[in-house]
């Protein structure tokens, strides 16, 4: 069945360092890949997404890359700040309607130490 694996489960970095979170999806038909940030006790917030017709997308300090052949996609955060500390979830969605269900990874707890 559909599955998204996410690694690592926890990640600790020093402020200013980069952080990378990786996900692998099982359904080769998936073509929409959002990333959500969830702070403790808060709602998941969409921070960046990528569609399968694009290999990379960047928004200020965050970027996402997609390798359709390997069915991998990754989140890159540069110049990390303490406020980046949160749980990050990757997800995948399958056509024909990409507003259909999102299959989520198990999350990565990122801690940024000052």
Partner 1 sequence: DAGVTQSPTHLIKTRGQQVTLRCSPKSGHDTVSWYQQALGQGPQFIFQYYEEEERQRGNFPDRFSGHQFPNYSSELNVNALWLGDSALYLCASSSSGRDEQFFGPGTRLTVL
**Given the rule CB under 8 A, which residues bind partner 1?**
6, 32, 34, 36, 42-46, 49, 51, 89, 91, 93, 97-107
- Residue 83, φ and ψ in degrees, nearest 5: -75, -5
Smallest gap, in angstroms, from Cβ of residue 79 to partner 1?
A: 26
Smallest gap, in angstroms, from Cβ of residue 93 to partner 1?
A: 7
Q: Which is nearer to partner 1, 18 or 46 (CB)?
A: 46
Quick check: 10 and 111 in contact, CB under 8 A?
Answer: yes
Query: What is the spatial distance between Cα 114 and Cα 112, in angstroms, rounded to a whole number?
Result: 7
Smallest gap, in angstroms, from Cβ of residue 103 to partner 1?
A: 7
């Amino acid at each position: 069945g559909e599955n998204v694996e996410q690694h690592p489960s926890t990640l600790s970095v020093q402020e200013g360092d980069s952080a990378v979170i990786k996900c692998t999806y099982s359904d080769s038909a998936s073509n929409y890949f959002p990333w959500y940030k969830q702070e403790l006790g808060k709602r998941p917030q969409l921070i960046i997404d990528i569609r399968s017709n694009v290999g990379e997308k960047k928004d200020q300090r965050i970027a996402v890359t997609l390798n359709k052949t390997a069915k991998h996609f990754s989140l890159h955060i540069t110049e990390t700040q303490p406020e980046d500390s949160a749980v990050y979830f990757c997800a995948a969605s399958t056509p024909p309607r990409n507003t259909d269900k999102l299959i989520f990874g198990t999350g990565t707890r990122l801690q940024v130490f000052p």
